[in-house]
């Protein structure tokens, strides 16, 4: 009698549900992952077409030259005194709008430092303008 050859049973991994498992894992990670929001300078821009005439006495020009020197209302001001200077001017005129005018060559870090110091000084109305010429 001949012995019948037995076929070896090789173990197989069922792959029919692999796609379902991968899809569920994908959904799980999409739902549980938090996305970092951009952090930057919070600005509230006016609606298109909103223009108001502002009296010149309510505008304070802050100029920043390429060397990082700051002029507030045509008088040179050290960076360390910006907050105090702005605070005093806002106490004198609560309708004051600060207009920051950096030159095109002004270092970004200097501009951000001046902007932060103006906010620390209590300014709520800040305009970023471009120098003429």
CATH number of the domain at 90, please: 3.30.420.270
112 φ/ψ angles, rounded to the nearest 5 degrees = -65, -40
Are the beta carbons of 45 and 83 closer than 8 angstroms? no
> Which DSSP state fits 49?
T
What pLDDT is attached to residue 16?
A: 75
User: What stretch of H or E contains 63?
Assistant: strand 59-64
CA 43 to CA 97: how far, in whole Å? 15
Residue 118 falls inside a structural domain: yes
| pLDDT in 10s for each residue of the chain, 133 residues | 566 777 777 777 777 788 888 999 999 998 998 877 767 767 777 777 767 788 888 899 999 999 989 999 888 999 899 999 999 999 998 889 999 999 888 888 999 999 999 999 998 888 888 766 5
| Domain span including residue 112 | 56-128
CA 5 to CA 72: how far, in whole Å? 98
Q: How many domains does the chain have?
A: 1
Residue 11 falls inside a structural domain: no
Structure tokens at 41: 């300078």
Residue 123 falls inside a structural domain: yes
Structure tokens at 100: 């920051």
Across the chain, which distance is largest between two alpha carbons, in Å? 116
Q: Write down the pTM of the prediction.
A: 0.63
């Amino acid at each position: 009698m001949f012995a019948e050859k037995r076929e070896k049973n090789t173990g197989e991994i069922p792959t029919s549900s692999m796609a379902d498992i991968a899809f569920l894992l994908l959904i799980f990670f999409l739902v549980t992952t938090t996305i970092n929001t951009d952090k930057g300078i919070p600005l509230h821009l006016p609606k298109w077409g909103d223009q108001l005439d502002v009296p010149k006495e309510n505008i304070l020009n802050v100029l920043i030259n390429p060397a990082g020197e700051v002029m507030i209302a045509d008088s040179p001001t050290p960076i360390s005194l910006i907050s105090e200077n702005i605070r005093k001017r806002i106490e004198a005129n609560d309708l004051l709008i600060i207009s920051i005018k950096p030159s095109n060559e002004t270092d970004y870090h200097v501009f951000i430092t001046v902007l932060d110091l103006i906010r620390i000084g209590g300014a709520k109305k800040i305009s970023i303008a471009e120098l003429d010429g």
